[in-house]
Chains A and B, each alone.
Chain A
Amino acid sequence: MELAKGGTPAGLIATVTFQPLAVGQLQALGVGGLPLIVIDHPLGGEKLEGVRRRAHQAVEELAALVGVSR
């Protein structure tokens, strides 16, 4: 968020369980427009296959966000 205030495009990656916290933070700090990439919860404790699946999710979401902002 500090980065975005300084003018650097920035976003957050959060698991779905932490989505409300992340959204609340962004809105409360006046940067509700920052992109939020949501992946399945949890990330910690997952084996490599699970991490890979979440990486695909994240990249798909980023692709959609970039598409929208185009």
Chain B
Amino acid sequence: MTLRSQVLELPDSPEAVFQAFCEREWCDGLPIIPPTPERVEAMLASVAGDAEESLGPLPPLWREATLEKLAVNSVMAGCLPEFFPVVLAAVEAMLDPAFNLYGVQATTHPVAPLLILNGPYARTIGMQSGAGCFGPGFRANATIGRALRLILMNVGGGWPGGHDMATHGSPAKYSYAIAENESASPWASHHVELGYAANQSVVTVFGGEAPHNVNDHVSTRAAGILHTASDTAATLGSNVKWYLSQSQLLIVLGPEHAATIAADGFSKDDVKVFVFEHARLPLGTLKLGGMWGIQEWPDWMLAVTDDRALLPSVASPEEILVVVAGGAGKHSAVVPNCTFSRAVHRPLTRLRA
């Protein structure tokens, strides 16, 4: 295998390698695994495709996402070779024009691509879908999410304050990757809803804010929990609702909330319709700030004059994604998108048999 990347010779100590990468602005500020040619070759050996093959130019600096560069960054992030097919599917998905990766990379908004893995491969590689799935402790989640960030920085060139113009950034920009808790879901899982077979493994990327907590410890009926979720989703400061045509909401239901909702006979579509109808703000509130005056709304919304009228956050119930994840407890989460990027999914196609 011929690798083409520039080679550096550094003192062989973890401190020296880490320091050299920090000085060159090649890492996220956390220690890395040194990307030696041998480690990069092992990463590449886990997928079908040549090292030189590019998945496309990555914005904002439009540098080529060759498998070799993706592997180098995945090694640095601490990925095992078997995680690499997931990273590749996520990069393929982020390069879909619908995801608008340039906007996601360059915006002042604190957006990060959330990776959701569905299907059996999540269990094969130990991707956490249960307790604490958004948080620390799980190598697959932590390093796959981190690999995406290092790729966005080193291949795309999205360095904070340089070409990534995020005002504050977000903890989600370090790593943001979960699996759906399919065994705890009362409904068909997300990828089956998209038309895939249950035994296929599929990556979804969603340009979202960090999760907003939905705490409902008292509701014993679907409507109560979904009112709490809807209220969490409809806030003046969220980007969702201003560019309506690309606004999407992701509802991550904890298994206990999902069970309560399903016990009331709600399907996933019922959940979406309920949130669509209730995640609304009155026109008078929307006029207070946010992006009032520069919003991109359909004509019928622009024509509304009654300040008490409740206006939707997304264009239709289909713009609400519902997955089940997390462990025990009466919490769910709402992830608003950045409103200029749409969720994109890709099956894992590069698994080497």
Binding site for B on A (CB under 8 A): 17-18, 20-21, 24-25, 28-29
A24–B60 touching, CB < 8 Å: yes
Q: A21, A28, A29: which contacts B165 (Cβ < 8 A)?
A: A21
Closest CB-CB distance, B263 to chain A, in whole Å? 48
Interface of A is mostly: helix
B residues contacting the other copy or chain, number (CB 8 A): 9
A28–B162 touching, CB < 8 Å: no
Closest 10 CB pairs of A and B: A28-B62, A28-B61, A21-B163, A20-B162, A24-B163, A24-B61, A21-B106, A21-B165, A25-B60, A29-B62
Known: A21-B162, A25-B60, A29-B62. 19 other contacts (CB 8 A): A17-B165, A18-B165, A20-B162, A20-B163, A21-B60, A21-B106, A21-B163, A21-B165, A24-B60, A24-B61, A24-B157, A24-B162, A24-B163, A25-B61, A28-B60, A28-B61, A28-B62, A28-B63, A28-B157
Chain B residues contacting A18 (CB-CB under 8 Å) are: 165
Taken together as a complex, chains A and B put the C-alpha atoms of A17 and B165 apart, in Å, by 9
Chain A residues contacting B61 (CB-CB under 8 Å) are: 24-25, 28
Chain A residues contacting B165 (CB-CB under 8 Å) are: 17-18, 21
Q: Which of B136-167 contact A (CB under 8 A)?
A: 157, 162-163, 165
A-B contacts, 16 of them at CB < 8 A, read A17-B165, A18-B165, A21-B60, A21-B162, A21-B163, A21-B165, A24-B60, A24-B162, A24-B163, A25-B60, A25-B61, A28-B61, A28-B62, A28-B63, A28-B157, A29-B62
Taken together as a complex, chains A and B put the C-alpha atoms of A17 and B108 apart, in Å, by 11
Chain B residues contacting A20 (CB-CB under 8 Å) are: 162-163
Chain A residues contacting B62 (CB-CB under 8 Å) are: 28-29
